[in-house]
Structure 1
């Protein structure tokens, strides 16, 4: 049996539907997809509606000497090798996330842009992974992330070897 409603009933029906939708809390959910649990990275992450997302712009390493500014950086030694720069960059990301109420365990996706280390003549993928392992699949953070890594010709400055951007997700 088909029901019909007078046109003037639609605002009341719409209001009732909206009130019902507002009274049911959104069930945020992040499902990490990983076929091989020993893998360093995820196959992907499924983020359902109702989840807070934070998109973090690409971050670079800080000078090893905390008294130096970026203007003082005159060599790779001022920033360190790829592993050192990865750790520095992930610490910057950790600090920014914490300021927004997120943790490293909330990261679901990282994009790594890696320049060639002049001492090696190519990107140091092993160094990037070594730095990455200090933040993911650890006792403090058993999670890992979906990740892409790209070798790039250069970054913002001649001595930067890695730039990392992140996406974090958490329940509202």
Structure 2
């Protein structure tokens, strides 16, 4: 099958493509939203303490995403788009975009191109009040 085409983002150092093209002969995967893993089982299960700050939650959410990709025989190189939903760590504050971007950049540090396109949106709340992030993704091969 044909590989996706990635239009490089020349205006930013962020690991994000401006556009991704997928051929009609590619298999397209719509991945369900992924959420963070509990890192502190002694904390209340619906608390931010149970899941960690935005940086930590991003790391564990991307780990879940990688697991699904592996189950499909894919890797992060196959990601074509990511929709990221973030909640602020404290009411009335802005989302921790820096914490998210740090973890996101670390996740893609071993690839020098072919990044997914991406949208990051601040939302009011998640299904679990301890979650600060959910990621929906698409992939192709």
Residue 150 of structure 1 aligns with which residue? 121
Q: Is 1:50 matched up with 2:25?
A: yes
Give TM-score, length-normalised by structure 2.
0.89
Q: Which has the higher contact order (CA 8 A, sep 6+)?
A: 2
Q: Is the 8 A contact 2:55 2:99 kept in 1?
A: yes
Q: Which residue of 17, 28, 39 maps to 2:2?
A: 28
More helix by share: 1
Runs of 4+ displaced beyond 4 Å: none
Residue 23 of structure 1 aligns with which residue? none
Q: Is the 8 A contact 2:46 2:128 kept in 1?
A: no
Distance in 2 between residues matched to 1:154 and 1:74, nearest whole Å = 12
Aligned-residue offset at 1:119:
7.5
Aligned-residue offset at 1:77:
1.2
Residue 136 of structure 2 aligns with which residue? 165
* Structure 1 counterpart SS, 2:39: coil
Residue 63 of structure 1 aligns with which residue? 38
Distance in 2 between residues matched to 1:35 and 1:95, nearest whole Å = 27
Q: Is the 8 A contact 2:89 2:132 kept in 1?
A: yes
RMSD between aligned residues: 2.1
* Structure 2 counterpart SS, 1:43: strand
Aligned-residue offset at 1:35:
4.2
Give TM-score, length-normalised by structure 1.
0.74
Aligned-residue offset at 1:134:
1.5
Residue 131 of structure 1 aligns with which residue? 103
Q: Is 1:116 matched up with 2:83?
A: no
Distance in 2 between residues matched to 1:154 and 1:64, nearest whole Å = 20
Distance in 2 between residues matched to 1:37 and 1:31, nearest whole Å = 18
Aligned-residue offset at 1:28:
2.0
Structure 1: segments with no counterpart, 5+ residues? 1-26
**Structure exhibiting the larger radius of gyration computed from Cα positions:** 1
Residue 84 of structure 1 aligns with which residue? 56
Residue 75 of structure 1 aligns with which residue? 47
